[in-house]
Structure formats: C-alpha cells, structure tokens
Amino acid sequence: MDMIAQKRAPIYEALERFRKMRIVPFDVPGHKHGRGNPELVELLGSKCVGIDVNSMKPLDNLCHPVSVIKEAEELAAEAFGAAHAFLMVGGTTSAVQSMVLSCCKKGDKIILPRNVHRSVINALVLCGAKPVYVNPDVDHHLGISLGMRVSQVEQVIRENPDAVAVFVNNPTYYGICSDLRTIVHLAHEYNMKVLVDEAHGTHFYFGENLPVSAMKAGADMASVSMHKSGGSLTQSSYLLTGPNVNAGYVRQIINLTQTTSASYLLLSSLDISRRNLALRGKESFGKVMELAGYARKEINQIGGYYAFAGEKKNGSSIFDFDTTKLSVHTLDIGLAGIEVYDILRDEYDIQIEFGDLGNILAYLSIGDRKQEVERLVSALADIKRRHHKDKTGMLSQEYIPPKVVMTPQESFYASKESLPLEETKGRICSEFVMCYPPGIPILAPGEEITDKIIDYIVYAKEKGCSMTGPEDERIERLNVLREE
C-alpha cells in the first residue's frame, strides 16, 4: 500500500475547496446552505449543512465518477486490496443487493447459509433467483448459528453444479467465520462467484491477527460496512470487487437502485475514514482487540455470564473468530439476552448493539475507551446480583432450519391472505419475520410455517425482542399464500 497516496482524501479536499469559493447556490438542496432551515443548522451545525450539496462538476458524480470520486474509489481499492471499490450511500444493504443482482437473474441458483441478513433474501425477491440453503451448524449451549462446514458446502455445490454463486457471512454478527479460503477454492472450481457479506468485518482489512478478509481469500465481491467498525457515518459502505468481475457492469447494477443525489456527508465520511484506517488502523484495531479481551476476562470473572471467543474454534463451523466481538451468553443467570439489553438501557443508560434470546452483543470499535467498558462490566455484575433467577423453561434456539417451498419472489408477489399467527401452521409465508437487530429472518417468503416457528415468534415478542417485517405492525397476523 502506498502510504503517501493514502494520506489523500480527494472528496474531503474538494469539499474544502468548495467551501472557500462562496458559491451562490441556484441548485438543490433547497435549504441553500442551511439558510432556509435554521432548526436544521442548530441541530447539525453550519459547517455540516454547508457541505450538504448536490453533485456538480468540481465534486464529481457518484453515478459516473470521473474525478475526485474516482480517485477516492482507487485509493479505497488499494487500501482494501481490491481490484475496484464502489462508495455506497445506501448502506451495506445496498451493497449486498448489488452483489446478488450482479450475479443472479430469474431462475438462477445461489448457494447461501440461511442465517443471512434480510437484504440478501430481499435481493432474491427482486431478481427471482432460487436460494439453495446450507443450514449452518448450531451451538446448542449458546443457541446461536455458526458458520458453514466446508463438507456441507462441497456437498451442496456438487448437487447444484449449475449454481452461479456462493454467498458467505464473514463474520457472523457474533464474530464467527467459516473457512473462507477453502470455500472460495471450491466455488471457483465450479466457476461460481463468491459473494461475501463483511458488514461486520471492516477491521479484517486493517488489523493484525484477525480472520482473513474476503479480498485476501480470493472472493469475487464483498460488502463492507465502513460505518460499523470503520468509523464512517451511518449508511455509508463499500462494495469491493476482485479482478474477475466486470466493474462497469456492477456500476450499472448499483445505478438501478442507488440514489442519483448521493450525500456528500456520507461520501466524505467514507473518504476520511478510509484514510484514517489506512494510516492508523493496525494500531487502532490492536487496541480494540485488547479492550475486548479485557472485557471478556472481567465479565467471565463475574460468574453466570459467558463471554466467548477463540476457544470455540473447531476448524470447521467455527473456523475462526473475530476477537474484537464482545458476545456474552446470559441464560445461565436466568435472563434472555434481550432482557439484559433492556435493563442496561433503561436502568444504566448503556446502549448495546442487540440482545437475542440467549446472548447480548456489545459492539466495540475505534471509538471505545476502557472507562466505558468498566461501566458495562460493573452494570452486568449489578444486574446478576439484582435480577438473577432460575433459567428453567427458557428458550435458547436462535436458528430453526426452514422448510423452503417456493422462491422468495414467487411467494412475495403471490395472491395472499392474512391469518392470525396461531392459525398459520402448515401455510406458506409470503413476508418476512425477524428480530432487528440482527435482521436475520425467522421466516422468509416461501417458507412453511411450523409450530416451532410460531412458538419462537410468540416467545420473542413476550421477551421484548424488536420484531419487524410483517405488514401487521403488532405481528399478531401473518400474510400467507391463499389456498386455491
């Protein structure tokens, strides 16, 4: 990596030049550098609102970059070890969907684990591709889904040699990685593209002693949430491509759905954050790993909680582990993860990333300090002392293997009817149901509804999980395919 070049931030520099020019705005946005919306200026500051501008020649255009955005893309590609990098302003959802839509058309098969983010299945609704699921292993103590075993991936590839792509999470929300290098090798033997969701793996490109990144493993495309562990503004991400991908075609796919009015606040934040990680990432993520290790040790000494890490590696479904992740199992103190999540926020003013039925995740990144971690540890000790109870009868299973009957697209657009949740057993769902975060569907369009799934949804609602997806906002009814 050319560290002198990485000191550049072309979009940021262009905005600084623009700010000094005192341009008279007869273009959009209509707030005209904030003059028309004083409350917005009060909230965000004049400096911020003053660079909320539209695409213009000196600032380039995200739909067809030829100058400063093109330079920013080239610097990002170099920093991430990619052949090309696209700046994305629709979040990693947009990047994930662009990967799938670039490879798949109606009727194509795509091999993927079922514990993908909803954005992947949304893309299948849009393009009509057929999912071929590799059911991930489950850790029954923790109640979480793991990575894909290579043997399972190999079997599914051999059974579906006409599939066009293999999709991999690297890592999962909990920090678990599959054997990405081997999966890439297997897929490429069958001329399948490898698409990687690295929403939670930005730091793999810049830290040391972390799992392999998608680009280093030889994957064809990767979606990277720069706004998660990378420090850019919310909703800003990168889409990376390898040498055997037609970047011009990918740009066309991105432009099918991405805004033509890209926010320069988001674009400049990507540019500045890439520079920051290229210059200081190794040191910054070293501190994050140290902090996470300290937190795990302190939490495990409380007793009852289990903050898990690399000791779980098994060379297969947990091939590697992201040691920046602070995942904590809570069931042994008699509380669901979502209950601990709510108590931390409501009684201790601590906002963690999410809680599911058995675990919580506290997201550590370059902005965390030891004093905040100590506050979290002390709150968890206090919660155990005040709220500890017997765990009998508590559910832990986070993953229920689906019964796929139809493609997501066929079922999403099919004739449907709304039924009370308890009357849907045996019917085919035509919408999504998930807890958010993490946004992994419990039910996706085209899957059969079972007793286990109904029980899970009812239990998750009772425990306070944020349920999303269905048309009915109370999630008391589900849309199912109408029976002829």
Structure tokens of 355? 């809680």
Residue with the larger pLDDT of the pair 200 and 143: 200
- 30-72 pLDDT, tens digit each: 999 999 999 999 999 999 999 999 999 999 999 999 999 999 9
Confidence of residue 400 (pLDDT cuts 50, 70, 90): confident
Domain span at residue 468?
408-481
Whether residues 358 and 455 fall in one domain: no
Q: Distances in Å between the alpha carbon of 340 and those of 221, 384, 464, 473?
A: 37, 9, 11, 24
Whether residues 421 and 383 fall in one domain: no
Q: Is residue 34 part of a domain?
A: no
**What are the b/e assignments for 41-60, b being 16+ CB within 10 Å?**
beeeeeeebbbebebeeebb
Res 461: pLDDT: 92
Structure tokens of 397? 């299973």
Whether residues 232 and 134 fall in one domain: yes
ω into 437 cis (within 30 of 0): yes
Please measure the distance between the N-terminal and C-terminal CA atoms of the chain and give it in whole angstroms: 61
In this structure, what CATH number is given to the domain that contains residue 375? Answer: 3.90.1150.10
Is the model's pLDDT at 96 over the cut of 90? yes
Whether residues 349 and 445 fall in one domain: no
Choose the final residue of a domain: 272, 298, 326.
272
Q: Is residue 56 part of a domain?
A: no
Whether residues 266 and 288 fall in one domain: no
Q: Is residue 240 part of a domain?
A: yes
Whether residues 250 and 125 fall in one domain: yes
Could you give the number of structural domains in the chain?
3
Q: Is residue 55 part of a domain?
A: no
Q: Is residue 432 part of a domain?
A: yes
- Residue tagged 């058995």 (tokens): 358
Whether residues 113 and 160 fall in one domain: yes
- 266-319 pLDDT, tens digit each: 999 999 999 999 999 999 999 999 999 999 999 999 999 999 999 999 999 999
- Residue tagged 């004049």 (tokens): 46
Res 438: pLDDT: 87
Q: 320 - beta bridge partners?
A: 177
Query: What is the three-class DSSP state of 229?
Result: coil
- 113-138 pLDDT, tens digit each: 999 999 999 999 999 999 999 988 88
- Tell me how crowded residue 480 is: count the other CB atoms within 10 A of its CB: 22
- CA 470 to chain CA centroid, nearest Å: 20
Q: Is the pTM of this model over 0.85?
A: yes
Q: Is residue 392 part of a domain?
A: no
In this structure, what CATH number is given to the domain that contains residue 129? Answer: 3.40.640.10
Whether residue 279 contacts residue 6, with contact meaning beta carbons closer than 8 Å, is answered with yes
User: What CA–CA distance (Å, rounded) separates 133 from 138?
Assistant: 15
